[in-house]
Chains A and B, each alone.
With several copies, the nearest count.
Chain A
Amino acid sequence: MEKVLMLWENSGLYNLSVLQLIMIVVCLGLLYLAIAKKFEPLLLLPIGFAGILANVPEAGLALSAMEQAMYHFDANTMQAVANELGVALTATSDAGNKAILLDALKGVDDPAVRAKVSSLISAAGYSDGFLYTFYSLLVATGIAPLMIFLGVGAMTDFGPLLANPRTLFLGAAAQFGIFATVLGAVGLTALGVVDFSLGQAAAIGIIGGADGPTAIYVSSMLAPELLGAIAVAAYAYMALVPIVQPPIMRALTSEKERAIVMTQLRPVSKREKIIFPLAVLGLVALFLPAASPLLGMFCLGNLMRECGVVERLSDTAQNALINIVTIFLGLAVGSRLIADLFLTVETLGIMALGIVAFAIGTASGVIMAKIMNRLSKMPINPLIGAAGVSAVPMAARVANKVGLEANPQNFLLMHAMGPNVAGVIGSAVAAGVMIMYLG
């Protein structure tokens, strides 16, 4: 029966491409890392799962209606689209004609023509895949990363930072990883290895900020085509912090430096904790409006946490809301793991540059801490400089652990939380500069 044949010809097995198979294996690898190795599972699990869904052949869950029409390339529909666009499908292959159409679509600036094409596509029975819908509603608009930032703000305690504000410099220094990586990406392009634009280079650099939602937010604005690879790199390397950082930290410090005991943090009053997020907001408003969405939501979350009068909102931001958004964000980001977008030389470049960014950020933080230790009377253990890359609270724990190796009575955790949360502010500021410069 021809119907059984149709079933077979529509099956995944019949249509599975090698690239899709590779992507599915890659995504299974992400799931393995998330589940067995506990690599940032809250995001890598939904990302990996959605990555598999995005590569289910024929389902087109991560494609827009237009992309699906292009994929199936039904002759009649495509001829109608070509007529509307005023081009002739003169190529001998579907791939050639597809290129002609995509080219013509890019050149269209009359919204009436775009509406007509959409209408033709829709009439032919194509509609946006559900993962694509999540992506366009939640990530392309920036809403999901902002909501995550709200929740992260509500989970963040700035107490250690307020007790020792100088640690903000460590959070600043560690952002050098971001900008050095931008230069690296640009350099690789100059060498002809890959081909990154400045916007793409900036989005790759932000991986060095060690801050998932910031990386997603920036790359959704400056390089949406790289979002999948950048998000995967950011979360994977954040999980690798306990492996990547210690050798660098040990190489740059002496045993004696690592054993430095820091003076105990003073208690911080509630009033200071309430005013701090407002002070950050004020500075952002005055000096870097481009960072105001990210840092605004972060500060709102923190104000809700500290003010003590909206506990039910703070609880919701830390639990129900951030969890719901995390599920959708993971699915949306995973939808960008489509084989065509991910399996490129650029992805390898991103992975390589991302780890370099982490390493440079760590080193910069440590070196800055050593400099501050020289200049200041109050002792600073250089290990806490490494926590300036953010990756809250993993990097602070790493600093604590490496410190305990040198001096088993020296608990650095609280001291490292200062630069750790400073790093979040620092990378959001860096993100703002990039968006303003390139956006």
Chain B
Amino acid sequence: MQDTELLREGFNLMLLGMGFVFVFLTLLVIATTLMSLIIQRFFKPAETAATNLPGKSGSAATADGQQANIVAAITAAIQQHRKRR
């Protein structure tokens, strides 16, 4: 491939690529927005989920939860005990 040809190809790839990335993500914005609108209108908002930090694995969360449970159990036991005294 000659240099000018290569340069033109590179330029084409840039135009095409950035164009496509924008078109695709624009479609995704539209699709997502529509989807959210439909869901928010037609389904009850009962089951909203908290926004978790990514990268936090399920098992870690479980472990934390377990520890929290334990702490809660201890606290409750102690408090109940105090009341009864």
Contact = CB atoms under 8 A, between A and B. Distances in A.
* A and B, direct touch (CB closer than 8 Å): yes
Interface of A: 1, 3-4, 7, 155-157, 159-163, 165-166, 168-169, 171-172, 175-176, 178-180, 182-183, 185-187, 189-190, 197-198, 201-202, 265, 267-273, 275-276, 279-280, 282-283, 287-288, 305, 311, 314-315, 318-319, 392-393, 414, 417, 421-422, 425-426, 429-430, 433-434, 437-438
Given A172-B26, A272-B36, A318-B57, 11 more contacts: A157-B54, A161-B32, A166-B29, A187-B7, A190-B3, A197-B1, A201-B10, A271-B43, A279-B32, A311-B58, A318-B58
A198 B6 CA distance: 7
A185 to B, nearest CB: 8
A157 B53 contact: yes
A198 B47 contact: no
Contacts, number: 173
Interface in B4-19: 4, 6-7, 9-14, 16-19
Interface residues of B, number: 47
Given A165-B36, A271-B43, A276-B32, A189 B25 contact: no
Given A165-B33, A271-B47, A315-B57, A426 B25 contact: yes
A155 B6 contact: no
Interface string B37-52: 0011001010111111
B68 interface: no
A155 B53 CA distance: 9
Given A275-B35, A280-B28, A283-B27, A437 B13 contact: yes
B21 interface: yes
7 contacts: A163-B51, A169-B26, A179-B13, A186-B7, A186-B10, A189-B6, A288-B20
B47 A430 contact: no
Contacts of A179: 13-14, 17-18
What DSSP secondary structure best describes chain B's contact surface?
A: helix
A417 B54 CA distance: 8
Nearest to B20: A433
Nearest to A276: B32
B7 A437 contact: no
A182 B13 contact: yes
B79 interface: no
Contacts of A438: 13
A288 B50 CA distance: 32
Among A161, A168, A169, A201, max chain B CB count under 10 A is at A168
Contacts of B58: 305, 311, 314-315, 318
B57 A272 contact: no
A175 B47 CA distance: 35
Contacts of A160: 51
B38 to A, nearest CB: 9
Contacts of A180: 14
Given A157-B53, A160-B51, A421-B54, A168 B35 contact: no
A429 B24 contact: yes
Contacts of A175: 17-18, 21
Q: Which 9 A-B pairs give the minimum distances between C-beta atoms? A: A186-B10, A159-B51, A179-B14, A190-B3, A172-B25, A157-B54, A165-B32, A267-B48, A318-B57
B59 interface: yes
A4 B25 contact: no
Contacts of B54: 155-157, 392-393, 417, 421
A175 B18 CA distance: 7
Contact of A269 (B6, B24, B33, B48): B48
Contact of B25 (A157, A186, A422, A434): A422
A361 to B, nearest CB: 12
B31 interface: yes
Contacts of A163: 51
A310 to B, nearest CB: 11
Contact of A198 (B1, B20, B32): B1
A275 B53 CA distance: 19
Given A159-B51, A198-B6, A434 B17 contact: yes
